[in-house]
Amino acid sequence: MIHPVLLCGGSGTRLWPLSRKSYPKQFSSLVGDASLFQTSAQRLSGDGFAQPVVVTGSDFRFIVTEQLTSAEVTPAAILIEPSARNTAPAILAAALQISASNPDALMLVAPSDHVIPDAKHFRDTVQAATEAARAGQLVTFGIRPDRPETGYGWLELSTAPDAGFAPVVQPLVRFVEKPDLSTAQSMLDGGLHLWNAGIFLFEARTLIAAFEAYQPAILALVRDALAQAQADLGFTRLAPDPWAAIEDISIDYAVMEKADNLSVIPYGGVWSDLGGWEAVWREGGPDATGVVTSGAALAIDCQDTLLRSESDAVELVGIGLKDIVAVAMADAVLIAHKDRAQDVKKAVTALKAKGAKQAESFPVDHRPWGWFETLVLADRFQVKRIHVHPGAALSLQSHHHRSEHWIVVSGTAKVTVDKEVKLVTENQSVYIPLGAVHRMENPGKVPMVLIEVQTGAYLGEDDIIRYEDVYSRGQGAKG
């Protein structure tokens, strides 16, 4: 039995504006109808696979559970990182969690934002690596390169894979950092290098032993964070104090580049980490002119171009474009040359410096009960569309600085205002005075949608006092 570990705490800034800190790329449907996280979970489920352990951040915990439920995947555990500390502590925490019940467990560690269309081919490659992992090897997966890619790390082999790229495990000579173009071309031509996918297979105890040998300080702190963890609904919250003292370091730097029991298995199937918009263009299946369109987008006399509209209200039209990426959302538009697509993160940094909320905040704000989006925001008033899942309920709350009007447009709302509780149906409305203790619930079996009009001197999401909450959130904008 293989125990999958899904890492989904990254922010994916290179795919801005679709991927942002508040809702990163792994939860988006970039290729196909399901999210990258959902397809990753489904790829690592079924015969031979145990329920996955997921490592994520607090802001994403309810997105994770909602998407796993939709994908019909039940997790063994969801570990909540108090703060991002890169892949080494996250993977080690999962190893310690799994090892507590089964030290001999085989762990397959995978990022949750990769595209691997041929799930069977990938699972067959995983199975081919199990013998080496059972023998105490740290097995990494190397991808067949098809271009001199400078955005990936590479893996150096001692023997070139055969012509059919059979999944045969061999010793790994070394990791190679992201190269310059000439070095990448030389490695591609030489045939002894593969792309580093950041996917690993090993026994839990093998990884723990590697940390004992090379990173004992990290091991001690992660053990403390797990030993002091608190159960929170269906989540395990790692303790924040020891976690804050852990070095921010990747698994490669922490142990893989130091270990002497490294092996690599070639994977010859299609793979992409969707690390930038050029990769999305490539995976989108360009037509005969190299054009990929998505959503409300229209290309006229364009070549080798990606046009993507994420809003039905925004028609994106490109005329005479070549080698361009254009992505339109309701609140932000990106236009870049494909050769500069990797520089999108520079734009995010610049937007953060000028205080633009679009740098990190997504137009749709996801909560455990559903989601909302701001339709209009002006001085002293705001209009939102709110979507509440069947059976879900917002917290019992009040506000210091605003009053609210709710107009139900779909479904039925159960509304509490101070001591009064009543049902509000379609085309009916209710007024929430400033300071009133109130709650909104969806008692039905279909989604409930309403329009909320806020008026007041301050309309920030942190103007909220929670008295009761079925999701055990604390105070603050999201709790």
pLDDT higher than threshold 60 for residue 237: yes
Helix (H), strand (E), coil (C) string for the chain:
CEEEEEECCCCCHHHCCCCECCECHHHCCCCCCCCHHHHHHHHCCCCCECCCEEEEEHHHHHHHHHHHHHCCCCCCEEEEECCCCCHHHHHHHHHHHHHCCCCCCEEEEEECCCECCCHHHHHHHHHHHHHHHHCCCEEEEEECCCCCCCCCCEEEECCCCCCCCCCCCEEEEEEECCCCHHHHHHHHHHCCEEEEEEEEEEEHHHHHHHHHHHCHHHHHHHHHHHHCCEEECCEEECCHHHHHCCCCCCHHHHHHCCCCCEEEEEECCCCECCCCHHHHHHHCCCCCCCCEEECCEEEECCECCEEEECCCCCCEEEECCECEEEEECCCCEEEEEHHHHHHHHHHHHHHHHCCCHHHCCCCEEEECCEEEEEEEEECCEEEEEEEECCCCECCEEECCCEEEEEEEEECCEEEEECCEEEEECCCCEEEECCCCCEEEECCCCCCEEEEEEEEECCCCCCCCEEEECCCCCCCCCCC
Tell me: the pLDDT tens digits for 411-433? Answer: 999 999 999 999 999 999 999 99
Predicted confidence band of residue 281 (pLDDT cuts 50, 70, 90): very high
Q: What is the mean pLDDT of residues 274-288?
A: 91
Residue labelled with tokens 């996250």: 90
| Whole-angstrom distance, CA of residue 67 vs CA of residue 415 | 27
CATH number for the domain whose boundaries are 364-468: 2.60.120.10
| Whole-angstrom distance, CA of residue 368 vs CA of residue 472 | 11
pLDDT higher than threshold 60 for residue 277: yes
Predicted confidence band of residue 461 (pLDDT cuts 50, 70, 90): confident
Write down the mean pLDDT value for the chain.
Answer: 92
Please count the other Cβ atoms lying within 10 Å of the Cβ belonging to residue 106: 23
Tell me: the pLDDT tens digits for 184-219? Answer: 999 999 999 999 999 999 999 999 999 999 999 999
pTM for the complete prediction? 0.85
Which residues are CB-neighbours of 59 under 8 A, at least 6 positions away? 22, 478
Predicted confidence band of residue 470 (pLDDT cuts 50, 70, 90): confident
Selection from 134, 123, 131 nearest residue 47 by Cα: 123
Predicted confidence band of residue 162 (pLDDT cuts 50, 70, 90): confident
Given a contact cutoff of 8 angstroms between Cβ atoms, the answer to whether 80 and 57 are in contact is yes
- We find that the CATH architecture of domain 2-267 is Alpha-Beta Complex (3.90)
Given a contact cutoff of 8 angstroms between Cβ atoms, the answer to whether 417 and 473 are in contact is no
Tell me: the pLDDT tens digits for 166-189? Answer: 999 999 999 999 999 999 999 999
Please count the other Cβ atoms lying within 10 Å of the Cβ belonging to residue 248: 10
CATH 2.60.120.10 in the chain is located at: 364-468
Quote the tokens at residue 230: 């608190």
